[in-house]
Every structure is written in C-alpha cells, then in structure tokens.
Structure 1
Amino acid sequence: MIIVKDVYKIIGGKVLFESLTFEINEGQKIGLVGRNGSGKSTLFRLITKEETLDGGDLFIKKGLSIGYLKQIPDRFKGTAKEYLETAFSELHHLLIDMQRLEREMLDPDKMEKALQHYGEVQDQFTERGGYEMEAMISQVANGLHIEELLDLPYDDLSGGEKTKLSLAKILLEKPDVLLLDEPTNHLDIVAIEWLEQYLIQYKGAVCIISHDRSFLDHTVSNIVDLESGEAQHYKGNYSSFEHQKEEQLLAEFHQYQEQQKKIKKMKEAIRRLRQWANEANPPNPKLFKKAKSMERALEKMEKINRPIIDPKKMGLTLQAEGRSGNDVLTAEEVTKGYQGRLILDEINLNLRYKERLAIVGANGSGKSTLLKLLLQQEVPDAGTIKQGSSIQIGYLPQNPLDGVNEQQRMIDYFREHIRVTEGQARHLLAAFMFYGYDVFQKIANLSGGERMRLKLAIFMHEGVNLLVLDEPTNHLDVESQEVLEEALEHFEGTVVGVSHDRYFLNRCFKETAYLVGGMLYRYLGSYNETKEKWNKLTDKPVKRASSSSKMETSKSTKKDTTVEEKIIKLEQDLNDIDEVMKRKTDVDELMTLQEKKDVLTEHIDLLYETWLN
C-alpha cells in the first residue's frame, strides 16, 4: 500500500535518513518505535507529503486514503461536533442534495423529476451509512470520553482536547491507512483500553508511533525500530520485539567478538610471516608474498561494527537526603468543587513514609486537583491537608517547565536551582544526554522529553524525599522511561503519582487508589492486580445530590450513609492487608504492613463510635 524506498533526508543540516526503506501492507498493524529524534514523526510527514524527500522514492497505491493524527491538532471554525461531522463530507453533500430536492418536491412543476432523483440520492445516502452518522459520532465520542466537548467552540478547547477530537475524526473517516502519532498522550486509561479494542477490530492498516509499551503490546503485530537512520523489522508485539532485539544484539556482539579474534590472529600471522621472511638468509620472497596476500584479504574483509549493547541513557539516580516523618501527607474530609461542580467529596488519605501510591481515574475525575491540594497549591473548600515534618518535595507536573522564561538558556535555568559552576553544570547535564552546545539552547527550543529530562536532572541534585508525579512518562522515550522506573525502584523516599501508563503503574506502584464519583478508594496491589475492583466501582450506580445542593449540605445530614460506606471499605482494606501479610516473609515489609493495619483498625473504631452515636 505504501513503500518508502532508499530515502535520503536532511533536517537542520543533519542527515536523518541515508537509505531508509519502509513499507505498510494491507491489514498490517505496525508499531513504529525509536528514541526521541530518531525521525519517526518525520517519516509520517514524508508519507503524507508534508515533508519533501531529499532523495529516494515514495510509492502510494492509487486511491489510497490516509488518516494522520498529528501531535499538533488542526485549526477549525465551528463547534467540536461540526468538526467531527467533517469526517462525513461526502454524506453531507448528499444530505444537502436531499434537502434541496425536498424543497423542489413542493413545486408541482418540479415534483415528479425531483421525486425520482430524490430516491436515487437517498439510496446512496443510506448505502454509505448516512442515517448512522449520529450513532457513529456518539459511539466514538463516548469511547474517547469527549461527549461534553461536542457543543463547545473548537477554538476554545485545549491542545489535548483538540488532539482527542482529531483522533475521533480520523476514526470516523475510516481511512485505508491510519497513521497515529502518540494517540494515547491525552487519553485516560478507560479511553486507551477502548481505543485498543477499536484498533484490534479495525479492518484497515495501522501504523502507531507510541512510547506506551502496554498499548503497543495490545494493538500491533509488527514492530519497526528506527535507529541510526535505518528501519529494522520485527514480527510480534513490543514485548516480543524487546526480547528479539536483545537476542539479536547478543548474537551480533558474539559475531563481532569472533571476527575481532580472527582479525587479531591474521594480523599476528602477517607480522610473523614478515619477521620470518626477513630473518631468512637470503630473505624469503614466498613468505613476503603470503603476508601480502593475507593483508589484502584482511583489507577486503567486511568489518562488523561493534554493536551498541547499552546505548547512552540519562544517568538518573534519586537520593532521598534525610528521611521525612512517618506521616508524609494527610487529607481529612477534603472537599473541592469548581463553578458549582463537586470534584472531590470528603476525601481521606494518609500517605506514610516509603509508600508508593498510584492515583488512577478517568479524565476530569480530579486526579491533578488532588495532587495540587496535597501540595497546598490550592485550598480545599472543606477539610484539611497536612504535610508531614522534614519533607523535601519534588513535583513533576505534566508540563514541567510551564511558566518559566522561555528565552532563558537551559544551563542558566539549571544553575538557578543547583548552585554549581558552568563547567560543573555542563558535566552534570551531560549525564542527562545534553552534550556540548546543547546546554546553551533556549528553553523555548526544548522538546517535551528534553524539558522532562532537565527537571529530573534538577531533582537528582536537590535531594528530594517525596516525589509527586503527574503523568511523568508522557514525553519520555522508552529508554528514558526505563531509567525513571529503575531510579524509582531504588528511591528511598515516598512516591505518589498520577499516570495512564499501565506498564509504569504496574512496575512502580504497590498500592492503587481510584477516584470515582468524587470519592477515593484505596487498595493494596498494582493497577493490574486491582483493576477488577475499579471496574466494580464504575459499574455501581452512584447516587449523588446535585452539585450546588451537595456543596451546601452540612456533614451532619449525610453522616450516617457515608460513615457506613467508609467502614465497609476500610474493613475490606484490612482484609486485603491480612491476605498480603500471609504471603510476605520480609520482616521490614511485615512491620510496615502491621503499622498500616494498626492505623486502619484505630480509624475503623473511631468510625464505629461516630456511627453508633
């Protein structure tokens, strides 16, 4: 369907591709992976002809329709729903024809001819799914959780909301080939899982650029790895690719080692032949000739380049300098609303030293709001937030350098936070893959991944003991995600994080709290281990008062029902801890779990007193 052959491309004076070959065949599901800057998005722009080839060929099957989801959304005047309706432009032309013919049918002179023509146009409209337009828009809008955006002006939407609408429009167009550039970046977990199922059933070809390893595992059956301007093809999903690439690299390294041994032996043989030829009396021309012949063979030998077994990664280690108190963050009966809408409803949370808690929920459920309240960046409408003693917070928001001077140089921003000389700063930043004159770039020119790496470099040298993470993997390539995950594993402090990256959640967090209907439900276990409990929470109808009346209701009028619910939930948590303790043998882990159990028991006793009184 699409063939890119021997492509040569220069970007900013740097050769990106020298002789790149890549193809998309009918029905294929491909994951396009590689480091930030390897040329993945450029390859998509070459296919859509937004970028021109500097050499090589591009072949696209005649009449092929291509849907391209960009990282930067389209521009459009009108409502969000009208934007989605542009996916059915051909059907709209038929609809306009039908409306014109309906008017003509009212004219006795034109009625007969208009009636005949109307039947033909209506048949075309029906065959092409014209009467299903509303249902299709509703299906995709519900799946991607954008129903509430449909009546809003497109220009008023955020970049993330526009990206979701762009994805919805492309899915409605049902092109022969879908090119999706980071489609999960602005979706919550529920929408990501819906999109996975949609793409699995999609009849056309799909090529996806993504750093979301779980998403690729569920959606693709081929991986193309862009590295050093070349495309390597692998059968299977992302996990299979990682295994294959590791085996391939080890095999290549073995071949390289064997060839190096052979070269060493040949060089030694050539040296000895020359030595023997010179020592002979008279000098032996046959030995000289044999040495020369071996030299030519060595020159003609196709040398194997040393494979890069462990490519350069950012050197991130997070040291918790000085421990915090046992109670790190505490929220008691915290309520928060905006413009009459209740977001958080009497949330209780006790985050203790060394705990790793993931907060998961649908978009708009209040995850980022809760983080801002815990950080005391916002004030609750009711309830209290307490920060424990001796905490040093490292906060990593979704856009880590928002509000900074975009014209400031990277190195100057780094030195504002870390008091070091320019030479020391350059050395420290090199560990985060900022080399040479890269450190003098203006912040305005940094990519999302580079901004994240810069903030992590500052954290590493600030000695934080509480990490608060809001979608930290959004802009990081897989290698940088892996470094962050390894650093968190060895971090001795406390971590609370919001993420829709299931691989990251499962690897880094032992506890998961779900925000549903303004309430927080906390469970022991990773996302995969507790997902069923979330499903039950979202399936359960939540009976709530209207936003404005709920905000004004006093605690005394609703105490009985909410206290009983809290007791049931906490007793379930207590049972979960007992189950975990049965499987544990590590003394430190058992002590931590016992502490948590004691706190829960005390809390339940107090709730029983309140309930009975």
Structure 2
Amino acid sequence: MIVCSVNEISKMYGGNKVFENLSLEIHEGDRIGLVGPNGTGKTTIFKLMAQYEPVDEGQIHVKKDLKVGYLPQIPQFDEGLTALEVLEKAFDEVKAIERELRGMEDVMKQELDEGKMQTLLEKYGVLQERFSFLGGYEIEANISKVANGLQIEQLLPQEFEKLSGGEKTKVCLAYLLLQSPDLLLLDEPTNHLDISAVEWLEQFLREHDGTVVIISHDRYFLDQVVNKVMDLEDGEIQIYHQNYSGFIQEKEEKLLREFQAYQEQQKKIKKMKETIKRLKEWANRANPPNEGLHKRARNMERALERMDKLKKPILERKKMNLQLDAADRSGKEVLMIKDGTKAFRGKLLFEDIQFQLFYQDRTAIIGDNGTGKSTILKMLMGEMAIDEGEVKQGSNLKLGYLSQHHTYHDPAMRVIDVFRDEVAVTEGDGRHILAKFLFYGHSVFRKVGQLSGGERMRLRLAQLMYQDINVLILDEPTNHLDIDSRDVLEDALEDFTGTILAVSHDRYFLNKLFHKTYCIHNKNLHFFDGGYEWARKKMMEKMEIQAEIVEEKQASEATVKHRTEPKQKKVDLDALESRMEQLEQDIASIQTNMLQEQDLEELQLLYGRQQTLEVEKQKLYQEWEEALG
C-alpha cells in the first residue's frame, strides 16, 4: 500500500532550482535510506512531505489519517519545561483521552436513565480501547525505554531550554520516536549519539511497525536498518531494493552498463553521420545528382533525429582532492600513557590506564559519550594535564590534529585568510588549493563564522594536507562530512605512511582503517589487537564474564544473608507477570462485554469489576517494578 506519493514536484529557493519534475512512492513498511550529495535537496523533500513547506509545482499525496513524524529543527516548547515534560508531550492525545475517561467515570457515578448510561458506556468503551491502543497504560515504561536507549535519562529532570544543542537534539529524537508516527522521517538521527545508542536505535527501527525514511551519512547504520535506497542525484531519484552496501555495488554495475551502452550508441551515431555524409557526397557527384542516394541520406537523418539519445553517465563527480603526505618518520614509540588517572569537574573519567601508540599504527579509541576519549587525545598532545601517572611523547613527532569542534578566534575572517594563516602560500595558490576542497570562486571569501560543520571540516583538512606532519590525531573526523567526502578521507588516510590515532563512532570508518582498538568502559581502558568488530566481540565476552562474576558474588552474599537473617517473603516474578497478563485479558474481556451488554444493572456490575481490576493491576505493576529494582 502506498502511504505517500510524490508526483512531478518542483522546488526553487531564491531563484535556484533544487529539483524539477521529481517523483517517488513510499510503501507501507518501507525502510528507506534517502542518499545523495549535500545540497541535492534531501532535507527539502522531507519538509515538503511533512507539509512544512509548499511545493512550487506538482502534488504530494499522503494516505488519509497518516501520522507523519518529522522535526525540521529543535521545536519551541513552553518555558520552564523539563526534558521529561517535553517527552510526556508526545502523549498529549493519550492524556486528553485519559481526562475524558475520568470525566465520564464521574458522570457514571450519578443516577442516569438506562438510555444515557448505555450511550455513555459505549462511548467509554471506544475511548478506552483507543487509550489502550495508543499506549496509555505504558507511558512511563515507554519513556524510560527510549530515554535509556538514547542515554538521556540523566537529562530528564533538567530544564529543556538550558540543555546544549546536542542534548536538545537527542531529547527531540526521543520525543519523535515516542509519538510512534505511521511515517517516520529521520534527518541524520545518529548525530550526537555514541555507538551503543546508535545500536539501540537500529534495533528500535527494525522493530518499528510504521514506515521509516532516513537521511544519513552513517553507512554502517544504513546497512543495518534500510531495505531500500533512494539515490537523489542531478534532480532525479533512482530506486535500489538493497541495503547501503548492496546499493553501492548495484549502482557501480549500473553505471558501467549505462556507460557501455552510451559508448555503443555514440559509435552507432558517428557511423550513421559518416554514412549520411558519404551518401550526400556520392549523390552530388552524379550528373544529374542521384535523388535515390539523397533520399537514403534523408531517411537516415530522420532515423537519427528519432533516436532516443542516451545521457552520458557521470562516472566521476567532483570530490575533495585530499592527499596526506607524511614528513620524516617518527621514532618507534610515538605516544604513551602509564598508570594514567584523570577526573574532570569532580567526575572520575578513568583510573590507572595504560596506552601505547607505535610508528605506523592505525589505532582507534571507542566508548560512550562522556567517558574521556577526547580527554585522552588532549593529554597525549600536551593540551591537558594528567592527574596521576605519566604521559610520554616519542622522538621527532610532528603532530597534526583534527578536532570535532572547529572554532575560530575571529568568525569574521575569510576562508582564504584562515587557510593562509597556517599555510604559507600566495592568495592565488591558496584559491587553487581550496578549490580541491570544493571551495570554488567567491566561496573562499566567505566568513568562517558562516560555514557549516562540513565546510569547516574540509577547511581544516586542507590545512592539514599542507602541513609537515607524521602523526595524525583525529577526533570524530567524519562528523559533518557527506558520504563522498568520507570516502575521500578514508582513501587519503589509507595512503598516509605515518601514524594515525582516532576517536570515532563511525563504525564503517573504524572497520575500514583501524587494526588496533582501545575501548573505555567503567573507567578502564581495554586494549584489543584488532578492528572495531573484533574489539566489540571481545568486549562483550569480557563484560559477560564480569557480569557472571558479579552475579556469583551477589548469589553468594545472598546465601550468607539468607542463613543469618530471618526468612523474608520472596517475590515470585514469574507469578507476578502471569497474574498481570491474566488481568490484561480479563479487562479486555470486560470491555468487549460492556459494548455488547444491554442490561443497565449488568453494565454497572461490569464497570465496577473493571475498576477493581484496574486498581489491582496498578498495584501489581508497582510491586513488579520494585522487585526488579
């Protein structure tokens, strides 16, 4: 079933055409990745489908009563709301139904004639069914599930307006997921999420009942979630029934086939033109001119005009031209931390950690947000002091650092001036170099304060390319880069003959480049002699062993406690869950009977029974949560 169809739409901004006569269809249950270079109009398509903006031409048809979930930017909420209250607003419809139900219950307590009571009970049954369908009984549980998954539970009591931009973005993503829309439009949902939160989101989206369309530069994430790719390029959309990796392979094969077909047609066209020319020459040599040869030439010209000319496929598009050359080699030992301990703002980040980086290593540091990954980089570079332990730098180091946060002391400076501050070149040579990083024409004179995150990253990469370095330290280097730019960066890093240390949550990037991995977990730094997938597997095994040890210790302590303390009543979780399930079934059965029952007294008895079961169910839920906690 088609839930949204886009028919020959066109859109312009400030006289610039974004796309023209664009069409696509979204089917129920689709998991779509909308990909394409930056600036091709992907986000614009989302805004048009969600009716945040009008189309200039064409039509967009959305299935009747379809609930579309999309946030084009951080919304404005009432002043003073906490993050928890923002998430609760996702259930405004449910809470309105609950208020209506409570009001109807008050009316039912009054003496009503049989007809009014019957009408009221029927309406009550319908509303209660809607309340249950929308998750009215699981609001707190659903909020807790999503908040824990996205790792924002610590933000819930804080005032929303006082959160950072990244924190607000994560809260708004949770708000959107909790709305449970039929069509979910996600624009770069993995931004600001660490790996464990992204993995939770992948699982959530795979289990989501609705339809999902995702704009993302996270190739690993797309592989895990989507089953269809819409490739937006040159104002046209091509559909591939693949995940991201399958799409890349199929697109390359398709381009090669199209290019071969184009070449064959060009050969045919050239041969036809040569034949037409010769026929005309032969016809004109005759005396009188040969009308038969002229006719053959005209027929061939008409055939050439009627021919459907194939468009020349573009095999190579404009990309960054990045080449990182290593300076004189460093010593064998590059960077080291021995027995390192560090706290930040009163919070212990890690304790007694060991770290070693050797010449030509490709080493990654992974871990959840806030565990101290960037802090380790700053300590290694000497930008931040260690609290306890030792940091050692090897001989002949020439460090190049790429930060995830690009700030400028003067945002009014021009791109060309910021570039030349670190690279000694003329303005003309600087413009030529910056063009390799997609800063064309007058864009080199833009103020750096106006640059997007991706443009700032490209500018910093341009500076690094022309610096004398043999060790690259990268902090989330793929942030803000589109997929093409990520590919270019990865190719350049593969060719770099020096040493690379990176902090990243881009799993595709980690798997492709790094053969050693450090993982920060529980204030410890764990080393794995392998890439991301290997490290993840081994870390999970280590955590399972640690959990078993803790479980055995707790069991042992519980046994001792059981022997030394008076015997207490043990809560049987299985029995609780079984009783809760039975209550749900009984309540559902009563609701069905209330819709069918005609006798007023029997209806009142059913209603009373339902209220009793609801109270018992709430008590059991509370007892169940206490038993778990």
Give me the TM-score of the superposition, normalised by structure 2: 0.81
**Does the C-alpha gap of structure 1 residues 381 and 305 become closer, same or farther in structure 2, counting only changes over 3 Å?**
same
CA distances 1:126-158 after superposition (whole Å, capped 9, x unpaired): 554322111111111111111111111111211
CA distances 1:79-126 after superposition (whole Å, capped 9, x unpaired): 111111011102222444567789999x9999xx99x88976767645
**Distance in 2 between the 1:166 and 1:460 partners?**
37
- Number of residue-to-residue matches in the alignment: 538
Q: CA deviation at 1:11?
A: 2.0
Tell me if the contact between 2:408 and 2:448 (Cα under 8 Å) persists in the aligned partners.
Answer: no
Q: CA deviation at 1:432?
A: 1.4
- Residue 465 of structure 2 is matched in structure 1 by 460
- Residue 272 of structure 1 is matched in structure 2 by 278
Q: CA deviation at 1:502?
A: 0.9
**Does the C-alpha gap of structure 1 residues 345 and 103 become closer, same or farther in structure 2, counting only changes over 3 Å?**
farther
Q: CA deviation at 1:171?
A: 1.3
Name the SS of the counterpart of 1:307 in structure 2: coil
**Distance in 2 between the 1:293 and 1:376 partners?**
79
Name the SS of the counterpart of 2:374 in structure 1: helix
1:256 counterpart = 2:262: yes
CA distances 1:363-409 after superposition (whole Å, capped 9, x unpaired): 2221112122222222122222222222222211223x223432222
Name the SS of the counterpart of 1:266 in structure 2: helix
- Residue 157 of structure 1 is matched in structure 2 by 163
Name the SS of the counterpart of 1:283 in structure 2: coil
Tell me if the contact between 2:408 and 2:449 (Cα under 8 Å) persists in the aligned partners.
Answer: no
- Residue 80 of structure 1 is matched in structure 2 by 83
- Residue 518 of structure 1 is matched in structure 2 by 523
Tell me if the contact between 1:516 and 1:538 (Cα under 8 Å) persists in the aligned partners.
Answer: no
Say which one has the larger Rg.
Answer: 2
CA distances 1:181-212 after superposition (whole Å, capped 9, x unpaired): 01111111111111111111111000000111
Name the SS of the counterpart of 2:466 in structure 1: helix
Name the SS of the counterpart of 1:32 in structure 2: strand
**Distance in 1 between the 2:296 and 2:329 partners?**
71
- Residue 512 of structure 2 is matched in structure 1 by 507
Name the SS of the counterpart of 2:181 in structure 1: coil
- Residue 215 of structure 1 is matched in structure 2 by 221
Map of 1:224-373 to 2, 5 A cutoff?
Answer: 224-373=230-379
Amino acid at match of 1:335: T
**Distance in 2 between the 1:284 and 1:127 partners?**
84
CA distances 1:398-425 after superposition (whole Å, capped 9, x unpaired): 23x2234322221121111111112111
1:427 counterpart = 2:432: yes
Amino acid at match of 1:252: E
Name the SS of the counterpart of 2:229 in structure 1: strand
Give me the TM-score of the superposition, normalised by structure 1: 0.83
- Residue 403 of structure 2 is matched in structure 1 by 397
Name the SS of the counterpart of 1:407 in structure 2: coil
**Distance in 2 between the 1:126 and 1:253 partners?**
56
**Distance in 2 between the 1:514 and 1:243 partners?**
32
Amino acid at match of 1:518: K
- Identity of paired residues, percent? 51
Map of 1:164-175 to 2, 5 A cutoff?
Answer: 164-175=170-181
- Residue 54 of structure 2 is matched in structure 1 by 52
Q: Give the unaligned 5+ runs of structure 2.
A: 551-629
**Does the C-alpha gap of structure 1 residues 285 and 146 become closer, same or farther in structure 2, counting only changes over 3 Å?**
same
Amino acid at match of 1:221: N
**Distance in 1 between the 2:107 and 2:371 partners?**
51
| Correspondence for 1:90 among 72, 93, 110 | 93
Tell me if the contact between 2:87 and 2:175 (Cα under 8 Å) persists in the aligned partners.
Answer: yes
Tell me if the contact between 2:4 and 2:26 (Cα under 8 Å) persists in the aligned partners.
Answer: yes
- Residue 8 of structure 1 is matched in structure 2 by 10
Amino acid at match of 1:330: M
Q: Mean Cα displacement is larger for which, 60-69 or 122-131?
A: 122-131
Amino acid at match of 2:456: R
Name the SS of the counterpart of 1:37 in structure 2: coil
Map of 1:438-453 to 2, 5 A cutoff?
Answer: 438-453=443-458
- Residue 477 of structure 2 is matched in structure 1 by 472
**Distance in 2 between the 1:339 and 1:189 partners?**
24
Tell me if the contact between 1:223 and 1:236 (Cα under 8 Å) persists in the aligned partners.
Answer: yes
Amino acid at match of 1:296: R
CA distances 1:556-599 after superposition (whole Å, capped 9, x unpaired): xxxxxxxxxxxxxxxxxxxxxxxxxxxxxxxxxxxxxxxxxxxx
| Correspondence for 2:25 among 23, 26, 31 | 23
Q: CA deviation at 1:12?
A: 3.0
Amino acid at match of 1:46: L
- Residue 43 of structure 1 is matched in structure 2 by 45
- Residue 579 of structure 1 is matched in structure 2 by none
CA distances 1:280-334 after superposition (whole Å, capped 9, x unpaired): 2333232233223322332332221211112221111110111122221111222
Map of 1:185-204 to 2, 5 A cutoff?
Answer: 185-204=191-210
CA distances 1:234-281 after superposition (whole Å, capped 9, x unpaired): 111111111110111011001110011011111111221122123223
Amino acid at match of 2:242: G
Q: Mean Cα displacement is larger for which, 325-334 or 232-241?
A: 325-334
Tell me if the contact between 2:415 and 2:448 (Cα under 8 Å) persists in the aligned partners.
Answer: yes
Tell me if the contact between 1:516 and 1:537 (Cα under 8 Å) persists in the aligned partners.
Answer: no
Tell me if the contact between 2:104 and 2:124 (Cα under 8 Å) persists in the aligned partners.
Answer: no
CA distances 1:520-573 after superposition (whole Å, capped 9, x unpaired): 111111111221112134443599xxxxxxxxxxxxxxxxxxxxxxxxxxxxxx
